[in-house]
Amino acid sequence: MKKDLSNIKKSKYLLDRNHCVAIPTETVYGLAGNAYSDNAILKIYKLKKRPKFNPLIVHYYKAQDIKDDCEINDNFKKLYRSFCPGPITFVLKLKKKSKISKYVTNGKKTLAVRFPNKLVTRKLLRSLSYPLAAPSANIYNQLSPVSKKDVKDEFGNKLKFILDGGPSKVGLESTIISLVKKPMILRLGGLDVKKIDKILKTNVKFTKKNMKIIVPGQSNFHYSPGIPIRLNVKKPFSDEAFILIQKRKYFDKNHFYLSKNKNLNEAGKKLYKTLRKIKHLKYKKIAIEKIPNIGLGQTINDRLKRASKI
């Protein structure tokens, strides 16, 4: 599209000058900057109000492009072939000669890399001579944005430009897997771990400890709308926003569907959008019915559990 082309050009113009630009991805929108520029990366932390000990994911156009920055291994190749571009982030060994800003990795010897699956963003990445570091485009500890409007909601007029790519298809952050040693899931996300198991022919583990050990910044508040959430609810109180994943007849108001037929992909896509909506409607409490703990339901439950601990 013509409009996309001029928006990509504008994004490139700003990024080349070390400004930040919000970019769409299939998972959530990101707040992007030149990963090789200290200046650009410091702007990201400042805009997001994010503590610097929490490292960033770097976004590339294709596998070949990471070779100067990190060590490629067989597990990476297998997963890349099966799922990329897509909602998976790989933690790999950082190369000593890499030009990645020290503020991206926070002195770590590893680098998180990802290949987002959104056409305008892929075209933008292809046009640049550097990769893009991008955390989710929200103020630290707030809900991740899944549309241009959500990013506006987070930052107001503080951003120079938001590249529009329509709503995010997956709507949950990428699944993070460390491939430095034995494969290990660091964050549940938009790619079902079972699919990863199938490709690696093993049972990759996710424990909450993994993330805590490797990334001390990971907090429970992370995905929170700032409103108390009650989980596994059968019957809500009258002042609660009630989130449902299957059709019910007897509720006439205060209810919000993630899906009407327990479709967990659809529910994942709608989760943040729905929580944001409920927040805007100024509800003081949220109740949510039990979400099956399979497929993306696991990721949804992970986010809800964290969000319920405010």
**Inter-axis angle of helices 119-127 and 2-16, nearest 10:** 50
Residue 134 and residue 23 in contact, taking contact as beta carbons nearer than 8 Å: yes
User: Using the rule CB under 6 A, which residue among 210, 218, 254, 308 binds ligand TXA?
Assistant: 218
Per CB under 6 A, the segment of 118-126, 130-138, 271-279, 285-293 that binds ligand TXA is 130-138
Please list every residue from 240 through 279 that binds ligand TXA, using CB under 6 A.
none
User: Using the rule CB under 6 A, which residue among 215, 241, 258, 287 binds ligand TXA?
Assistant: 215
Contact call for residue 25 and ligand TXA (CB under 6 A): yes
Nearer to Mg ion, 145 or 236 (CB): 145
User: Using the rule CB under 5 A, which residue among 105, 136, 174, 224 binds Mg ion?
Assistant: 136
Per CB under 6 A, the segment of 4-12, 53-61, 199-207, 249-257 that binds ligand TXA is 53-61
User: Using the rule CB under 6 A, which residue among 55, 86, 131, 225 binds ligand TXA?
Assistant: 55
The residues facing 34 across adjacent strands are 132
The amino acid at 75: N
Q: CA-based diameter of the chain, in Å?
A: 63
243 contacts: CB under 8 Å, gap ≥ 6? 255, 256, 257, 258, 274, 278, 286, 287, 288, 289
Contact call for residue 136 and ligand TXA (CB under 6 A): yes
Contact call for residue 56 and ligand TXA (CB under 6 A): yes
As a dihedral over the C-alpha atoms of residue 284, residue 287, residue 288, residue 293, rounded to 10 degrees, the angle is 100
Contact call for residue 220 and ligand TXA (CB under 6 A): no
User: Using the rule CB under 6 A, which residue among 72, 214, 231, 233 binds ligand TXA?
Assistant: 214
**Inter-axis angle of helices 264-280 and 296-308, nearest 10:** 30
List residues near Mg ion by CB under 5 A.
Answer: 136
